[in-house]
Amino acid sequence: ATPTALLVGTGRGAQLGVLIKGPEMLESTRRVDTVVLDKTGTVTTGRMTLLEVIPGAGERRDETLRMAAALEAGSEHPVARAVVAGAAEVGELPPVTGFANVAGLGVSGTVDGRDVLLGRPRLLRERGLVVPDDLARAATDAQAAGRTAVLVGWAGRARAVLAVADQVKPTSREAVRRLRDLGLTPVLLTGDNATVAAAVAAEVGIDEVIAEVLPAEKVDVVSRLQAEGRVVAMVGDGVNDAAALAQADLGLAMGTGTDAAIEASDLTLVRDDLLAAVDAIRLARRTLGTIK
Ligand code: ADP
Ligand code: MG
């Protein structure tokens, strides 16, 4: 690579809203055939809204919401922000002790003397809480409607389902189409439930979906695709995505994402939409073309 060509690529990149960290990435870009897209915050806005609180039999809605929001006040996760914002009407939140974040699964802590768990059904079940049939069904129904459903529970069982929804970014579908036009295969990767992931994938036109992946496993998914002989670009935004972004042949971070994701990537997309990722890949290919 000649310094001049790189400079051109970098200058045009700045115009397009793409920050290129190093020249090393340009070489691998030409061979990329697969683009792994993180769901939350990358394909979707990541700004979630609490749509519904469904209390179990004999539970009081406001009580379950209050416990949930108190716990989520300690988390930065998009689900947590939605729950806290959605609980404004229940008044002051009680303090939490022993707060812990369980990566890719949820949160735990002690509120009003109770050990409370909130997150994926899997988290509550793993910790020995019973999920009553009516709540399990309510969670499944919410997921079928494309919503992320989390459970809050304490003292041996789940007490309510909280359904939150995210929105696909308006340009995501067009971006996926353009990736295909470039001969690239898009793959949706998420820690979220498989039903929700399938609904989002259908909405933007992605056929290959890898869901319910724990944060620590995202990097393994990228490695596995590479072991199959695929050359992988990954677009992500979360702390969860950092290792996978570093492992990918080309890592692209959303500029609105976390510092960890940005540091782990080759490229940072200043524009908050997926079309910037398409521009970045085209630009990198073109820049390489002028060098060769
Ligand atoms: P993604 O890969 O889509 O960015 P994450 O790996 O961050 O998702 O989270 C996966 C799932 O874990 C979420 O969809 C949610 O169900 C659950 N989860 C993680 N953190 C929290 C939290 N703080 N509160 C509630 N649920 C959570
Ligand atoms: Mg994300």
Q: Is pLDDT of 4 > 60?
A: no
To test ligand 1's pocket by mutation, which of 77, 101, 124 has the most ligand atoms within 8 angstroms of CB? 77
Contact 77, 240 (CB under 8 A): no
| Total-model pTM | 0.83
So what's the ipTM on this one? 0.94
The structure tokens listed for 144 are: 């079928």
Active-site residue, 38 included: yes
pLDDT tens string 188-207: 999 999 999 999 999 999 99
Q: Which of 54-58, 230-234, 268-272 has the lowest mean pLDDT?
A: 268-272
Q: Which atom of ligand 1 is nearest to the CA of 237?
A: 4
Is 66 touching ligand 1 by the criterion CB < 6 Å? no
Ligand 2 centroid – CA 57 distance (Å): 34
Ligand 1 centroid – CA 224 distance (Å): 23
- Mean pLDDT for the chain overall: 89
Q: Which of 12-21, 75-84, 155-164 has the lowest mean pLDDT?
A: 12-21
Report helix, strand or coil for 226: helix
Instruction: Give the C-alpha separation, 219 to 27, whole Å.
Output: 21
What confidence tier does 12 reach under pLDDT thresholds 50, 70, 90?
low
Of 200, 263, 250, 266, residue with least CA distance to 36: 250
CATH architecture of 49-165: 3-Layer(aba) Sandwich (3.40)
Of 150, 137, 64, residue with least CA distance to 106: 150
What confidence tier does 27 reach under pLDDT thresholds 50, 70, 90?
low
Q: How far, CA to CA in Å, does 106 sit from each of 116, 140, 235, 282?
A: 11, 18, 23, 38
Instruction: Give the C-alpha separation, 31 to 15, whole Å.
Output: 24
- Topology (CATH level 3) of domain 9-45+168-291: Rossmann fold (3.40.50)
Ligand 2 centroid – CA 284 distance (Å): 24
What confidence tier does 275 reach under pLDDT thresholds 50, 70, 90?
very high
Q: Which atom of ligand 1 is nearest to the CA of 72?
A: 23
pLDDT tens string 209-246: 999 999 899 999 999 999 999 999 999 987 788 999 99
Instruction: Give the C-alpha separation, 69 to 72, whole Å.
Output: 5
Is 106 touching ligand 1 by the criterion CB < 6 Å? yes
Instruction: Give the C-alpha separation, 58 to 68, whole Å.
Output: 17
Domain spans in the chain, listed from the N-terminal domain onward: 9-45+168-291, 49-165
Is 9 touching ligand 1 by the criterion CB < 6 Å? no
What confidence tier does 24 reach under pLDDT thresholds 50, 70, 90?
low
Is 238 touching ligand 1 by the criterion CB < 6 Å? yes
With b for 16 or more beta-carbon neighbours within 10 A and e for fewer, the 68-105 pattern comes to: bbbbbbebebbbbbbbbebbeebeebeebeebebbebb
Check residues 102 and 287 and name the one with the higher pLDDT.
102
Is 107 touching ligand 1 by the criterion CB < 6 Å? yes
pLDDT tens string 143-161: 988 899 999 999 999 999 9
Q: Which of 14-18, 83-87, 168-172 has the lowest mean pLDDT?
A: 14-18
Q: Whose CA is nearest to atom 9 of ligand 1?
A: 104
Is 77 touching ligand 1 by the criterion CB < 6 Å? yes
Please name the residues in contact with 181: beta carbons below 8 A apart, sequence gap of 6 or more: none
